[in-house]
Structure 1
């Protein structure tokens, strides 16, 4: 809200961001977007506005409640799997220390994630999202819609973790991503005690349709026309996809549900 106000008052006044959570220090705090949920839609109101500066103070990072501190690592894993295989290897190696939020390990993970996000925005060629697949939004088409479906009781980080798992499995089913690489990513999410399934994925509309798939249409509208989502072809590699096989996506959801049930 503050960012939106700063972007519109007097046609824009300088905004200094001071993000205070793992999620915001690692991701959104270094971005160029301001978004406000409105009329039941995620980020319906907002602007693109480059902050004058962002101050990531680790004193804030370490003062969070433990659950919030760890949950934000979902976006750290995301940027690693779409942008930096070497960083993902590091996350995999230090998953135990990250799960415990060991200060030095947490700080390195957040700093590296923030730099990767900032580098893509500055040098990716489409900072204001006029045509790209927005790789930093990997897994977000489902995540955003789950948040809406939950009445925003489901946190963004948790929703992103589940959304990534769905698109990872879809990438495997399409033959783009090896099952071994998928297993490695899911294992890291589990090690960080992030969710890999949520019952909202199975919810049906009154006419029996899979409700989460409405998130694809919402995502297409948000992009301004053509659906473009990123799917994985490897850790640190992705490709743009413009069509989604709804039946196959539902198959992925059923498989995720069965796997979750087997662990109960």
Structure 2
């Protein structure tokens, strides 16, 4: 005889994604108000080394801010500086420093781990927070375009393992996300443009009018005009939030439309030992999947040319020597394993209209790679 007891419950999640400037100015109460809603909260800061280098007064600003708002927060330890970029996700010992700090300083579920940095550091710190005490409140302060408009606003955390990106991780919504546009001013040109790949992505699969807007403002964005960048970040972040609030926020199924261009990008990052930025790899992945969509007969030639022209106008490459058909076919298998189900790839029916497929033609993948390689070599497209 079998006895089956069914359990069913719903857990609501709500968090604010805030946009501001000078968040560590004592006069700006945004962060203090987020941390100390009822009483002063124990707080531990994790800071990206690249951010600390470009903002040498940041640690002192954090300390001064805490002193000015002792009724809202108190620092339980010196801020922890960790390596930035994928290095923070490739070395598990870095994440373990955060977990050890939760033990040493009594950081519990009513405390806060505040991470300041790019998407990789936020991913790593968020994972440490999620698995310590089964979940410590985590506040993200993204400092790159990519993390402010995409990775920093979502519910995913993780580190790299076994040669695969984000192999270990969790779905754990942040307590809050606080964006400070001033952090963007010190980005180098590669990191400035890198996050724009995610804007192209959501525009192509969700909003043709946003793609038109990106085309009109491409030159200003490439020249580091802050006003259109702010608009792009907020609009892109809103579309990501709208998607997360949809049917499958924790990706229990195999549908991941926001991963348009990413299956190839993840493989390319690994093949280049992460010397290529995530956004740069995504831009190439978008170019590849757009070309594939055209070769499949779904995307008009003029639409493909608009897409490739925008990617190029923003300063991205369309091809990397590590990109070969055989490498990418291996990447498809790894992507399917990561999904844990059937292969699901987002392609384009037109600018602003995405459609999922569950198989990819290997010959068309190779032709798409060859097409982009010829363009990069200034040859006539195949």
Q: Of 296, 299, 316, which residue of structure 2 is paired with 1:174? A: 296
Q: Which residue of 2 aligns with 1:207?
A: none
Higher-RCO chain (CA-CA 8 Å, sequence separation at least 6):
1
In structure 1, how many angstroms separate the alpha carbons of the residues matched to 2:189 and 2:322? 25
* Whole-angstrom distance in 1 between the partners of 2:125 and 2:194: 24
- Partner of residue 199 from structure 1, selected from 300, 305, 321: 321
> Normalized against structure 2, the TM-score is what?
0.65
Matched with 1:206 is: none
- Measured after TM superposition, the shift of residue 36 of structure 1 is 0.6
| 1:140-151 equivalences in 2 (<5 Å) | 140-151=262-273
Q: Which residue of 310, 314, 321 maps to 1:188?
A: 310
Partner of 2:280: 158
Cα RMSD (Å): 1.2
Deviation, 1:5, is 0.9
Unaligned runs of 5+ in 2: 1-123
Q: 1:228 aligns with which of 344, 347, 355?
A: 344
Q: What are the residue-to-residue correspondences of 1:98-117 with 2, within 5 Å?
A: 98-117=221-240
How high is the TM-score relative to the length of structure 1? Answer: 0.94
Deviation, structure 1 residue 197: 0.8
| Cα distance in 2 for residues equivalent to 1:91 and 1:238 | 18
From 358, 363, 367, give the equivalent of 1:247: 363
**Number of corresponding residues:** 256
Out of 183, 204, 207, the residue aligned to residue 81 of structure 1 is 204
Contact 1:16–1:52 under 8 Å retained in 2? yes
**1:127 alignment counterpart:** 249
Deviations 1:56-86 (A, max 9, x none): 1111122322331122211111111111111
- Deviations, residues 165-213 of structure 1 (Å, cap 9, x unaligned): 110000001111111111111111111011111111127xxxxxx1221
2:348 partner SS = strand
Cα deviation code 1:221-255 (max 9, x no counterpart): 01102000100001111111001000111011112
| Structure in which a larger fraction of residues adopt strand | 2
Kept in 1, the 8 Å contact 2:222–2:314? The answer is yes
Confirm or deny: 8 A CA contact 1:200 1:212 kept in the other structure: no
Given that 2:254 and 2:341 are in contact with CA atoms closer than 8 Å, whether structure 1 keeps it comes out as no
Quick check: 1:75–1:160 contact (8 Å CA) kept in 2?
Answer: yes
Once the two structures are superposed, residues 117-141 of structure 1 have per-residue CA deviations (whole angstroms, 9 ceiling, x without a partner) of: 111111x211111114211110101
* Structure 2 counterpart SS, 1:163: helix
Q: Who wins on radius of gyration, i.e. which is larger? A: 2
User: Deviation above 6 Å: which 4+ runs of structure 1?
Assistant: none
* Equivalent residue, structure 2, for 1:60: 183
